[in-house]
Amino acid sequence: DTEDGKNLLTGTKRAANILAAEEKKGTAVADSVDAGLLKEPEEKALAGAITKAEAQAATAIEALDYEAAMRALATLRAPIDAFFDKVLVNDPDEKVRANRLALLARIREATGQVADFSRIAS
């Protein structure tokens, strides 16, 4: 119940809501992010942070240390905030837009290792 945790919850829900809206429209979201299509420093930083946090969270979960897993995921707070502050998900370039949606899906997957954030009241 930290400030980072609350803000991570907000960012995660925002990502999930964008994805839900796209999926409702029938948009297929890619399973992986194409590093070559990451243009902005904030999206590159987020992609790297997700990879690191996923690995740390997975190790913690294997050890049944869910508090450590949440701490690892809480490190995503700043990169998620920066991404939403500086990057337009709905880029005019369809490939870039699709890649950014895939990045949002990685947020959902990473946090989903520990909890279904869509079910947590903020």
Identify whether 121 is part of a domain: no
Q: Please tell me the pTM assigned to this model.
A: 0.87
CATH number at residue 89: 1.10.730.10
Q: Please check the confidence at residue 122 and state whether its pLDDT lies above 60.
A: no
Cα 94 vs. chain centroid, distance in angstroms?
20
Domain extent, residue 49, equals 3-116
Answer yes or no: is pLDDT of 6 > 80: no
Q: What is the pLDDT of residues 49-58, one digit of tens each?
A: 999 999 999 9
Tokens at residue 80, please?
A: 């998620």
Instruction: Indicate whether 14 belongs to any domain.
Output: yes
pLDDT above 90 coverage of the chain, percent: 72
d(CA 13, CA 71) in angstroms, rounded, equals 18
Provide the number of structural domains found in the chain.
Answer: 1
